[in-house]
Amino acid sequence: MDSYRGVRTALIVGAGVAGLTAATALARAGWRVEIVEVSPSRATHGWGLCLTGPSLRALAELGVAEACLAEGHGMSVITHVDVHGEPADQVQLPRLIGARRPAMVGIARPVLHRILHTEAERCGVVVHHGLTVAAVDQEAELVRVRLPDGTERQAGLVVGADGIRSSARGLLGLRASLDYHGQMVWRALVRRPSWGTGIHHFAGKVNTAGLVPLSDSRAYVFLTENGVERDVLPDAELAPRLRKLLEPFPGRVAELAPLVSVSESVIRRPVRTHFLQGGWNRGSGVVIGDAAHAPAPQMASGTALAIEDGLVLAQELGRHESIGAGLKAFVSRRAQRCRTLVETSVAIAGLERARRHDEAYPLVDACHRLMAEPA
Ligand SMILES: Cc1cc2nc3c(=O)[nH]c(=O)nc-3n(C[C@H](O)[C@H](O)[C@H](O)COP(=O)(O)OP(=O)(O)OC[C@H]3O[C@@H](n4cnc5c(N)ncnc54)[C@H](O)[C@@H]3O)c2cc1C
C-alpha cells in the first residue's frame, strides 16, 4: 500500500466544494489530510447555489444534508413560465433523500462553505489559507510539492481541486481547453418574494431568467444573456444593466427588477465548460470537481459532481491497494457520468442561444433523471 511513514497522506489544492468534500471523506477513512487554499481567509463571497437531488444525496452521505436544509431553503418543484408570462410546465424533481424530504435546496455559497469547512476540520483536516502550489514532483511512493515560499510538503496523494482554471492540473501535466458558449450568466441576491417558494424559470424572447429561494428571507435572481461577447462590466453598471435585461419579460419578472436595484450583490460570469480528455490522473496525482469537468450552470449540477467526486475518490482509494489503481478506478467510475452532464449542459446552452426553449426543457428533465441514478 502506498503510504508515507505508515499513514496514508493527501495534499489537496483548493478548499472549494470538491476539495473540502474529498478531504472529509479521506480523513474519515483514516488519511492525514492537508489543504492549501489560495484565498487568504475562510470567508467565501458569493451568490447562491441550487443544489439538486444528487447534491443532497451526496451531502447526506457526508452527514451534512440536514444542516444545509436547516440553513437553506428546501424545495421540489420547478415552474417553467413561457414567453407570454403563462405557466407552461411544472417539473417535480426526484426526492433522493426520502419521500418526505425536499428534492433540492437553495443555499447561499458562504453558508455551504462554512458547513463543509466545519465538518472537514471536525474530521481533523488542516486547511492552510493564502497558500498555493508552485511545483509537483512525483517519486516512487510519494509526491513532493513545492510551495511558492520555497518550502516543501510530501504526501502519498495530491488532489487538484482548484476549480475550472486549475493550476494543479497543469502542474500534474494535464491539459484542458475551456470553451466559451456565447452566454453570460447573472446572479443577484434579493429579498425573497412571497411567491418564490420553488424555482421559477422564465423564458424570454432572447434571454432566460428565474428565481431560486435561498432561505425564508433571501433568494437569487438569475438571468442568462444569449449571444454576447465575453467582457467585464464595471461593478457600478451591473445592477442597472441586469434590471434593463429583465424589462422585456412579462408577468412576475416585473416584481424582480426593483429588488435587483437594491441587491447587495450582482455578479456576471461567462458560461465556460470543459471535460478533461485522456484521464484525470497522473501517477499519484488527480484532479476532481471543476478542475476535471465543468458543466454550464444551466443544469445546476456542477456542485453535485464535485461532491460525488470527493466521496467516490475516498471509496475507490479504500478499495485498492495502490494509489495508482485507486485513481484509475475512480476516473473510470466517474468519467461517463461527468461527460454526459457536461455535454448535455452544452446542448442546453445551444438550444437557449437558438431560442428553442421548448426543446431544452425535456433535455433538462431527462438529465435530472439520469443524474438521479447512483453515482
Ligand atoms: C455563475 C455560476 C452559477 C453556478 N450555479 C450553480 C448551481 O446553482 N448549482 C450547482 O450545482 N453548480 C453551480 N455552479 C457550478 C459550481 O459553482 C461548480 O461546479 C463548483 O463550485 C465546483 O466546485 P470545485 O470545488 O470543483 O471548484 P470551486 O468551487 O471553483 O473551488 C475551487 C477552490 O480552489 C481555490 N483555488 C483556486 N486556485 C487555487 C490555487 N492555485 N491554489 C490553491 N487554491 C486554489 C479557490 O479559491 C476555491 O476555493 C455555478 C457556476 C457558476 C459560474
pLDDT at residue number 3: 53
Q: How far apart are CA 354 and CA 83, in angstroms?
A: 14
CA 141 – ligand 1 centroid, Å: 30
- pLDDT score at 5: 56
Question: Can you tell me which atom of ligand 1 is nearest the CA of 133?
Answer: 42
Sign of CA dihedral 88, 304, 164, 122: positive
Fold classified for 181-267: D-Amino Acid Oxidase; Chain A, domain 2 (3.30.9)
Q: Does ligand 1 have an atom closer than 6 angstroms to the CB of 54?
A: no
Tell which phi-psi region holds residue 268, choosing left (phi > 0), alpha (psi between -120 and 50) or beta: beta
Q: Where are the domains of the chain?
A: 9-178+273-372, 181-267
Give yes or no for a contact between 160 and 35, defined as CB atoms under 8 angstroms apart: no
d(CA 38, CA 46): 16
User: For residues 143 and 314, what is the distance between their CA atoms, to the nearest angstrom?
Assistant: 18
Nearest C-alpha neighbor of 82 from the set 270, 364, 360, 289: 360
- What is the chain's pLDDT, residue by residue, as a tens digit (375 residues)? 345 557 899 999 999 999 999 999 999 999 999 999 999 988 777 789 999 999 999 999 999 999 999 999 999 999 989 889 998 888 888 899 999 999 999 999 999 999 999 999 999 999 999 999 999 999 888 899 999 989 999 999 999 999 999 999 999 999 999 999 999 999 999 999 999 999 999 989 999 999 999 999 999 999 999 999 999 999 999 999 999 999 999 999 999 999 999 998 999 999 999 999 989 999 999 999 999 999 999 889 999 999 999 999 999 999 999 999 999 999 999 999 999 999 999 999 999 888 887 788 788 888 888 899 999
- CB of 36 within 6 A of ligand 1: the answer is yes
Q: Which residue's CA is minimally distant from atom 38 of ligand 1?
A: 162
Nearest ligand 1 atom, CA 290: 26
Q: Compute the distance between CA of residue 189 and CA of residue 95 in angstroms, rounded to an integer.
A: 26
Can you tell me which atom of ligand 1 is nearest the CA of 304? 11
Asked if residues 144 and 136 have their Cβ atoms less than 8 Å apart, the reply is: yes
Torsion of CA 368, 370, 373, 375, to 10 degrees: -90
Q: What is the pLDDT of residue 2?
A: 46
Q: What pLDDT does residue 88 have?
A: 86
CATH label, 9-178+273-372, candidates 3.30.70.260, 3.90.226.10, 3.50.50.60, 3.40.190.150: 3.50.50.60
pLDDT digits (tens, 9 = 90+) for 163-195: 999 999 999 999 999 999 999 999 999 999 999
For a mutational test of ligand 1's pocket, the pick from 37, 78, 128, 265, i.e. the residue with the most ligand atoms closer than 8 A to its C-beta, is 37
End-to-end C-alpha distance for the chain, whole angstroms: 26
